[in-house]
Structure 1
Amino acid sequence: MTDYPPEPWHLAGQAHLSVWLLPVARLPKLPEGAEPLVAGGHAPVCTAWFDYRAPGQLTYHELLCATAIRGGLAASITDIWVDSASSRAGGRELWGIPKDLATLDFTGDRTFTAAAATAGGWIATAAFTRRAGLPAALPTRFEIAQALGGRLKRSPVSSRAKLHAAAADWSINPSGPLGFLAGRRPIVSAQLRDFKLVFGAEPTPSRRSE
């Protein structure tokens, strides 16, 4: 099945993420027109595991890697895998997100483990242990910038989640697509509990002719 909802997508679930600092020379390639957010010769890169659940419009697993870019609170997704053909098709066709299919295995909650692999080999594994968190859900707004139709498309994202600190232990295949992170450690990790997320823009009302 490759049918998918029109944008915006209303999604919900649990997420575990880590932020890394990479030298500019080691950054993955960004779309034309996207400039990395650089300080001291390094740029922040985020890797995240998403477990999309009901009552969201789609249910699937995801591993992504995104680089922070200039122009407000924004990032560009350079590598991403899902275990849903519908999510893959919608991500590519609506927003230019380069989703590929993979096998993703998630277990646990307070202690969360995840693994991603394709027919070509394993991509990454990770183990997260949840720490202290905030009692209330926090709102966030940002943009995702991707190449679509020969231009840079910036799509709005809004979310609300309970933020928890986390300890994370990543293992990344040095010969795999995330090999630029192999041997490095994230500077901070977190769990986003019970998130609600809206990805994409509301359709523009069409004008009726007089």
Structure 2
Amino acid sequence: MQGEPGVAYPPEPWLLQGDFAVGVFLVPLRVIPEDVLAKLPAGSHPLVLAGRAVVGVAAVRYKPGGVLAYDELLVALPVVHHARLAVTIPQIWVSSPASRAGGRALWGIPKELMTAHRHHSGRRLQALYRSESRAILAETSVLVRRSLPGRWRLPLPTVQRAPEDLIRSSTFIRSSNSVRGSLHLAHTEWTFGSALSWLQGHRPVLGAAITQTSVVFGARVQR
């Protein structure tokens, strides 16, 4: 399919394979920038625990074997939208122009471009992410502590504010997605800058890694 001029991307659903490193934070609502909250669909509000919003940050590498291979850094806000729980992605960067074009056109995900540098050593991952302007977005260190038995299937429904040029019958785009892989508890450390500086100084309350992961994104989409 053709999105931005000269940039083709795969049709939905996307079948991807890769590894995830995840940090879960509890952040006061007042800390979340207005331009981030403005990307939530109308009628939704962040999930709040103990007076703080739940914020997920994920560093992802999608590997060859899926429809695309690229690096990704994202912020995920669990939200309640029309009495249903879902995830909105208000900030996200990818290393693939095709992923950027497809994410925006298909699901209203506001992807931007970045560069990624990752280093694995045993059970530890270190990664550095920079925006197109070379500003540091995030740096993370992930150490896998404990592997949980079996393969886990995690539903990941997303709901995004529909860009104005994509609005048809609805002002939002809801997508059914799933992640299936090996789940590990992990110690994660994060440093944030640039557009993610609002997260700097907050420590994750939970760290995890998902490896040997199969992702189905955009299996059922409501527009």
TM above 0.5, one fold? yes
Deviation at 1:106, TM superposition (A): 1.4
Q: More helix by proportion, 1 or 2?
A: 2
What is the CA RMSD across the aligned residues, in angstroms?
1.7
CA distance in 1, matches of 2:149, 2:181: 10
**Partner AA of 1:140 in structure 2:** L
Asked whether the 8 Å contact 2:9–2:98 carries over to 1, the reply is: yes
CA distance in 2, matches of 1:10, 1:132: 27
The gaps in structure 1 that reach 5 residues or longer are: 205-210
Q: 3-state SS of the aligned residue for 1:190?
A: strand
CA distance in 2, matches of 1:67, 1:202: 20
CA distance in 1, matches of 2:114, 2:149: 34
CA distance in 2, matches of 1:113, 1:203: 34
Aligned pair partner of 1:156 in 176, 182, 186: 176
1:86 matched residue in structure 2: 98
1:63 matched residue in structure 2: 73
**Partner AA of 2:209 in structure 1:** Q
Normalising to structure 1: TM-score of the pair? Answer: 0.91
2:47 is equivalent to residue 42 of structure 1: no
CA distance in 2, matches of 1:60, 1:188: 25
CA distance in 2, matches of 1:137, 1:31: 32
2:89 matched residue in structure 1: 77
CA distance in 2, matches of 1:182, 1:31: 25
Identical positions, percent: 37
Equivalent residues in 2 for 1:122-201, closer than 5 Å: 122-148=136-162, 149-150=166-167, 151-173=171-193, 176-201=194-219
The gaps in structure 2 that reach 5 residues or longer are: 1-5
CA distance in 2, matches of 1:203, 1:188: 30
> Aligned pair count?
202
Q: 3-state SS of the aligned residue for 1:35?
A: strand
Deviation at 1:33, TM superposition (A): 2.7
CA distance in 2, matches of 1:141, 1:172: 27
Q: 3-state SS of the aligned residue for 1:25?
A: helix
Normalising to structure 2: TM-score of the pair? Answer: 0.86
